[in-house]
Amino acid sequence: MKKLSFLPQLAVVAGLAFAGPAHADEVKGSAAAGNGKVWLCTGCHSIPEYRADYPLVYKVPMIGGQNAAYIAAALTAYKKGERKHPTMRSIASSLSDQDMADIGEYYAAQTASSPINPLK
């Protein structure tokens, strides 16, 4: 069942939430560092036309090629609760500002149809 495939990832995310406090200083993202962090995201965001169906049917947006600052801002909005999608909120709440900057740079260097983790 596709709809349960993110549960193991969420269990790991819960563990990562204790990894350490976020830096308040100016944060500079690194695509290479982001490459090691997007395994949380590829299960949903790298599958064309994938739909996550809890609690409603959501079409998962393709974020490859999106602007890095936009991605970091969107993740911050989920973390703060300004954006409401429950799964994205729980995922974003585990990310530090540095993680968001790194992930933003990583996706900015991709295109919508990039293969998963091409930098490896």
| Of the candidate residues 31, 40, 68, 108, the single one contacting ligand HEC (CB under 6 A) | 40
**What whole-number distance in Å separates Cα of residue 40 and Cα of residue 9?**
6
CB of 94 to ligand HEC, least distance (A): 8
Cβ distance 33 to 96 under 8 Å? Answer: no
Cβ distance 35 to 106 under 8 Å? Answer: yes
CB of 73 to ligand HEC, least distance (A): 8
Residue 8 is a binding residue for ligand HEC (CB under 6 A): no
Q: Looking at beta carbons only, is 21 or 83 nearer to ligand HEC?
A: 83
Residues 6+ apart with CB under 8 A from 58: 51, 52, 85
| Of the candidate residues 31, 68, 71, 108, the single one contacting ligand HEC (CB under 6 A) | 71
* Torsion angle defined by CA atoms of residues 94, 79, 57 and 37, in that order, rounded to the nearest 10 degrees: -40
Residue 52 is a binding residue for ligand HEC (CB under 6 A): yes
Q: Which stretch binds ligand HEC (CB under 6 A): 19-27, 57-65, 108-116?
A: 57-65
List Cα–Cα distances, 53 to 31, 60, 68, 87, 102, in angstroms: 30, 10, 27, 11, 28
CB of 101 to ligand HEC, least distance (A): 11
The residues of the shown chain that bind ligand HEC, judged by CB under 6 A, are: 6, 9, 40-41, 43-45, 52, 58, 60-61, 63, 71, 74-75, 83, 85, 87-88, 91, 103
